[in-house]
Amino acid sequence: MGGDDAKKQGRNEEATELERSFSKVLDRHGYGLQYAILKVAERLWSEGKSRWLFEACEFPVEVQGKGTRIDFLLKYQGGSAFMVAECKRADPRFSRWCFVRAPFVRRNQERDMLVLEGVETKASDRLAYSLAVRQLQPREASHIGLALKRHQTAGDSPKTRSDSIEDAVSQVCRGVNGMVNLLIEEHKLGGEDVLFIPVVFTTADLWVSNTDLSAASLEDGKVPTDESKLTKTAFVFYQYHLSPGIKHTMSPAYQPQRLSDFLSDRYIRTVVIVNALAAEAFLQRPVYDVGNSDVIL
């Protein structure tokens, strides 16, 4: 092989190795998943099958002095709702996300509600508010999420070593609260009440358990497994408890009367977690419109 041929082969091998490395980094950051879902959204819109229209990508917001970027925003046409989306390519080692309902959340709570964050822009003082859109069915609402190993082997600890659910959900909630700050502080979108729907699209498989956590043994703290069942699902309504550090600092539209009300009114928000393979079906679902309460997500 001549000198020029050897140099050319060396450059080709370097380029091939660089391409492989670049693809791995792109995959790790989830850019491919983000734009693949946007492509689905655009196609459904152009075909008249969805009312979600692409608004912006990598949108910068700030919450309590910490900046972040929203993966993408979709605007619901004919309404005043925005989808605030986070895309999470799950670690293949922990790509089974399992959820369970908590039997106790707050005093006098008889049912779980789909609760979203909103901004009241008609008033001169511009207030933030939470809106209980509709009642969630018992099997829809989940309060605890754990990412489990895909292949469990003898000797493996059952404990998860992945915080992927917490990371994704807290990130999308940070984006929602950043949008609340932006719309109120910058006086944008005047004349409309605006509702935000936080959605996490993920490559993880989603499972919901019917385990009754309150039936755990007082002797060893273990939950019964003989009657528990996991069911695979396309999406989950996750009742997430926000930490104050990712919450907006805007004035609320009303003041809670009891301590337990602070939890539900200020900090519990519903995040919809969607398996990426179900993104097309999910984007065709109707959503709640501030001016038309008979349309439901």
The yes-or-no verdict on residue 176 having pLDDT over 90 is yes
Query: How far apart are alpha carbons 271 and 273 in whole angstroms?
Result: 6
Residue 291 lies inside a defined structural domain of this protein: no
**Mean pLDDT for the stretch of residues 149-163:** 59
Residue 81 lies in a domain: yes
Looking at residue 125, what is its pLDDT?
Answer: 66
29 assigned to some structural domain: no
Q: Report how far Cα 157 is from the mean position of its chain's Cα atoms.
A: 27
**Helices 3-29 and 31-46, axial angle in degrees (round to 10):** 70
Do the domain assignments include residue 198? yes
Q: What is the pLDDT of residue 295?
A: 46
Tokens found for residue 139? 């099997």
Question: In the structure encoding, which two tokens stand for residue 179, read together?
Answer: 């949008």
Does 292 map to a domain?
A: no
Report pLDDT digits (tens) over 268-279: 999 999 999 999
Using DSSP, state whether 69 is helix, strand or coil.
strand
Strand order, beta sheet including 144-148: 144-148, 96-100, 205-209, 230-233
- Tokens 């008979």 locate to 294
Banded model confidence at residue 19, pLDDT cuts 50, 70, 90: confident
206 found inside a domain: yes
Q: How many domains does the chain have?
A: 1
User: Whats the size of the chain, residue-wise?
Assistant: 297
What does pTM read for this prediction?
0.86
Does the pLDDT of residue 42 top 60, yes or no? yes
Question: Cα(230)–Cα(242) distance, rounded to whole angstroms?
Answer: 26
- Residue 161 falls inside a structural domain: yes
3-state secondary structure of 55: strand
**DSSP string spanning 24-58?**
HHHHHHTHHHHHHHHHHHHHHHHTTS--EEEEEEE
- Sequence-distant (6+) residues with CB within 8 A of 261 are none
The pLDDT of 36-50, averaged and rounded, is 96
In angstroms, the CA 78 to CA 84 distance is 17
The closest of 12, 17, 18, 19 to 1, measured between CA atoms, is 12
Name residue 61's beta-bridge partners: 68
Question: Computed over its alpha carbons, how large is the radius of gyration of the chain?
Answer: 22
Q: How confident is the model at residue 292 (pLDDT cuts 50, 70, 90)?
A: very low
Q: Which two tokens stand for residue 20?
A: 């492989």
Q: Which two tokens stand for residue 64?
A: 């309590």
Give one DSSP letter per residue of 83-127, joined into a string. EEEEEE---GGG-EEEEE--S-SSTT--S-EEEEEEEE-SSTT-E
Is the pLDDT confidence value at 2 over 70? Answer: no
- Using pLDDT thresholds of 50, 70 and 90, give the confidence band for residue 174: very high
CB 16 within 8 A of CB 255: no
* Residue 189 banded pLDDT, cuts 50, 70, 90: low
CA-to-CA distance for 272 and 169, rounded, in angstroms? 9
pLDDT tens column, 221-235: 988 887 678 999 999
Q: Is residue 139 part of a domain?
A: yes
Structural domain for 174, as ranges: 35-283
Q: State both tokens at 258.
A: 């009891």
Q: Residue 258 and residue 97: Cα distance in Å, rounded?
A: 34
Q: What local confidence, expressed as pLDDT, does residue 202 receive? A: 96
